[in-house]
Structure 1
Amino acid sequence: MISPKNDGYTFPFEGLAHEGTIILLPYREDTWEDGGLKAFPEFKSIIETISMHEHVYVIKSPKVKYDTSCLNMKNVSIHELDYDDSWARDNTLIFLKKDNKIKAVDFGFNAWGGKVDGLYSNWEDDNKLGSNLSKLLNIECYLDKDFILEGGSIHTNGNKTLLTTEACLLSKGRNSNLSKEEIENHLKEMLGMDKVLWIPHGIYNDETNEHIDNMACFLDENTILLATSKDTNDIQYKWSMEAKRILENETTASGKKINVLLVNTPNPYLALTNEEANAIKLDSGAKERLKGDRLAASYVNFYMGKDFIILPKFNVKEDLEAYNLLNEFYKGTKKIYSIESRNILVSGGNIHCITMQI
């Protein structure tokens, strides 16, 4: 079998140097407030910040209706391609590395669950996006379209250890024809991994079937940042303590014990306001977003490169706690930017979800 693992390619740690970052601009009226107009200033701030550190490939759908001329800035290039929604973490490519060479894997995409519990009814342009991007970037791809996988459902320590949730990867809308063992073996082959760490759940009410990138991520080879709730009566607290117990009794592929750092989610939890709900059009083919819906807010959903971190900001007291925790861990080696991302959150994701590192 020709696979990335056989070829010596592996999924690298996010916090290393990138060739660039991919971001897709929002436009869906049934997902984004005012067709993406409300979230665009947050996208702009994120693009501008990343561009101070590396190149940003902004992908713009022909369906984007608002003015994007403010993105004509240094270290940013704008390209037009079709896609169904703007979660670059999930509908683009997974980039692998071997020495200084890059290849990518183009997995199948079905809007987080297909006909079982997908978030919209037509994902054809999303599923074609990886192929179109590989041509744009001139990067060779391994095709794996029969296996459904989103980038937000996996994290790696960069040394052949993968982290994921059972809730997502074992969901009925993805690869229900495969057993857990078969899924794990496939991940190892296609991402160059030796070990997969599984935790049962992610963030409560995360509509992606609980992606790992909202719940836990590696800060270095053997340290995992795990989201939890201050409210010991909250289901999130129960899920997080279960994950903590599992991870602290695990080792990495190289045999190192895992250290777990906890970061609090906003307490009380954030919920969709009436104004936000009214700015999103209901559509029979997309998930309804209603006043009072609990939002899956988490500081783990940050994006990092070699020398920067872009951290979600919700204008609550926990913002500073998360900032201080990461600042203390990295001791100035990564500049941390807190950027407001509420208007991204109301559409179902956050900063990590809208970015993909090359």
Structure 2
Amino acid sequence: MIRFPAEWEKQSAVLIAWPDQSGDFGGNLNDVEQSYRFIAETICRYESLIILCKSAVQQRHIETLLPVEKSGIRFIHADYNDIWVRDTAFLTVEKDGKPLLLNFRFNGWGGKYEHAADNALNRNLLKHAPFASNPHLDIDMVLEGGSVESDGEGTILTTKQCLLNPNRNPELNRDQIEAQLQKHFGAERVLWIDQENLDGDDTDAHIDTLARFCSSDTIAYTSSNDPSEKHYQSLKNMEAQLKAMKMISGEPYKLVALDLPKPIFDADGKRLPANYSNFLIINDAVMVPVYDDPMDQTAVDKLAECFPQHEIIATPCRPIVHQYGSLHCMTMQFPATISTD
């Protein structure tokens, strides 16, 4: 019996990888670290935090930024190319009620970036607690955590543009990929969305930028009601697909539209993939990425309705999105079955 837990289930810890001067944030690092500081302090209020960093020197620097109780933080020194651990760290399933760490191959989002250290990350994590004490499985298939959404009950939501992209697993067709999702995640069904990626998103349309399970009967999704928005029509097409989808019971999903913020551009004029679907669910709270935009509060209010038992926390992510990802992309949660003691 294999089950892929939903993100809203009880967690033991969240993993992040701290950026440094050698990374892609460059001159924006100070602002990025302020966002990281907010995110780290917030997570520590609810559960344990695991911070990847590259050296003891960097660890000491991070410690000066975090005036929180250090007992809730575990540091691991490891090499990594990028900070987007959603796509490089273990995915955790339950096998017969016990945790199993899945180590998929990572190829730099279809060979777009250098990725040797990221692909080796999980092998390095296995040298450290809490990962060393848990069984793992190496899987000869390219798959990133941001590309799959689980309702915890056997349904996986994903996009054709990512999982069926020939730059991931060209030797596998749709039926074969579904068979792999069934084998490794216990998927009873796969809901496929046909949707282009947002401008600035180089993941080939990861589902966690587009549509997210809030519960087994509710999906929040990226939307636009502005006909001048470049993605207006494609997002309307995605909305129509979501409306046609049914739960296992045959009932339609409750859908919650999260309108895009106004476009944000980098210094070179490239649009960044700012969106509100990239929220992170942690124990008793939901962290919502915000971008100093008038639409921020609307997104916070809508997600508060989806998670009435959770504290909703507006989380500053404008600096982070300058490297083409956001809050969910930079984090990976681990279920309560992974002990951090």
TM surpasses 0.5:
yes
Q: 1:72 to 1:78 in 2, by over 3 A?
A: farther
1:127 aligns with 2:119: yes
| Deviation larger for 19-28 or 204-213 | 19-28
Q: 1:31 to 1:162 in 2, by over 3 A?
A: same
Q: 1:142 to 1:246 in 2, by over 3 A?
A: same
Counterpart in the other structure of 1:39: 32
1:14 aligns with 2:11: no
1:341 aligns with 2:333: no
1:220 aligns with 2:215: yes
1:89 aligns with 2:83: no
Equivalent runs, 1:79-118 vs 2, <5 Å: 79-98=76-95, 101-114=98-111, 118=112
Q: TM-score, normalised by structure 2?
A: 0.90
Counterpart in the other structure of 1:181: 175
Q: 1:349 to 1:297 in 2, by over 3 A?
A: same
**Does the aligned pair in 1 maintain the 2:12–2:47 contact within 8 Å?**
yes
Question: 1:45 deviation in Å?
Answer: 0.8
**Does the aligned pair in 2 maintain the 1:216–1:227 contact within 8 Å?**
yes
| Secondary structure of the corresponding residue to residue 246 of structure 1 | helix
For residues 21 and 249 of structure 2, the distance between their equivalents in structure 1, rounded to whole angstroms, comes to 44
Q: 1:109 to 1:254 in 2, by over 3 A?
A: farther
**Does the aligned pair in 2 maintain the 1:227–1:265 contact within 8 Å?**
yes
For residues 200 and 328 of structure 1, the distance between their equivalents in structure 2, rounded to whole angstroms, comes to 27
**Does the aligned pair in 1 maintain the 2:102–2:138 contact within 8 Å?**
yes
For residues 224 and 21 of structure 2, the distance between their equivalents in structure 1, rounded to whole angstroms, comes to 31
AA partner of residue 178 (structure 2): E
AA partner of residue 124 (structure 1): A
For residues 344 and 297 of structure 1, the distance between their equivalents in structure 2, rounded to whole angstroms, comes to 10
For residues 57 and 216 of structure 1, the distance between their equivalents in structure 2, rounded to whole angstroms, comes to 27
Question: 1:254 deviation in Å?
Answer: 5.1
AA partner of residue 19 (structure 2): P
Counterpart in the other structure of 1:231: 226
Q: Which runs of 5+ in 1 are unaligned?
A: 1-7, 275-290
| Deviation larger for 255-264 or 311-320 | 255-264
Q: 1:239 to 1:175 in 2, by over 3 A?
A: same
Deviations 1:248-298 (A, max 9, x none): 21223454422221110113x1111x3xxxxxxxxxxxxxxxx11011110
For residues 48 and 189 of structure 1, the distance between their equivalents in structure 2, rounded to whole angstroms, comes to 37
For residues 337 and 99 of structure 1, the distance between their equivalents in structure 2, rounded to whole angstroms, comes to 34
Deviations 1:178-197 (A, max 9, x none): 11121122112111111111
AA partner of residue 302 (structure 1): F
Question: 1:231 deviation in Å?
Answer: 1.6
Deviations 1:131-167 (A, max 9, x none): 22234222211110x2100001111111110011111
Counterpart in the other structure of 1:52: 45
Deviations 1:301-325 (A, max 9, x none): 0100231011111111000000111
For residues 58 and 293 of structure 1, the distance between their equivalents in structure 2, rounded to whole angstroms, comes to 30
Equivalent runs, 1:298-337 vs 2, <5 Å: 298-331=275-308, 333-337=309-313
| Secondary structure of the corresponding residue to residue 35 of structure 2 | helix
For residues 64 and 127 of structure 1, the distance between their equivalents in structure 2, rounded to whole angstroms, comes to 24
| Secondary structure of the corresponding residue to residue 339 of structure 1 | strand
**Does the aligned pair in 1 maintain the 2:3–2:94 contact within 8 Å?**
yes
Question: 1:232 deviation in Å?
Answer: 1.8
Sequence identity, in percent? 30
| Secondary structure of the corresponding residue to residue 300 of structure 1 | coil
For residues 27 and 57 of structure 2, the distance between their equivalents in structure 1, rounded to whole angstroms, comes to 11
Q: TM-score, normalised by structure 1?
A: 0.86
**Does the aligned pair in 1 maintain the 2:23–2:81 contact within 8 Å?**
no
AA partner of residue 36 (structure 2): F
Question: 1:15 deviation in Å?
Answer: 0.9
Q: 1:64 to 1:202 in 2, by over 3 A?
A: farther
Q: CA RMSD in A?
A: 1.9
| Secondary structure of the corresponding residue to residue 109 of structure 2 | coil
Q: 1:28 to 1:347 in 2, by over 3 A?
A: farther
| Deviation larger for 254-263 or 241-250 | 254-263
| Deviation larger for 135-144 or 71-80 | 71-80
| Deviation larger for 130-139 or 30-39 | 30-39
For residues 141 and 271 of structure 2, the distance between their equivalents in structure 1, rounded to whole angstroms, comes to 30
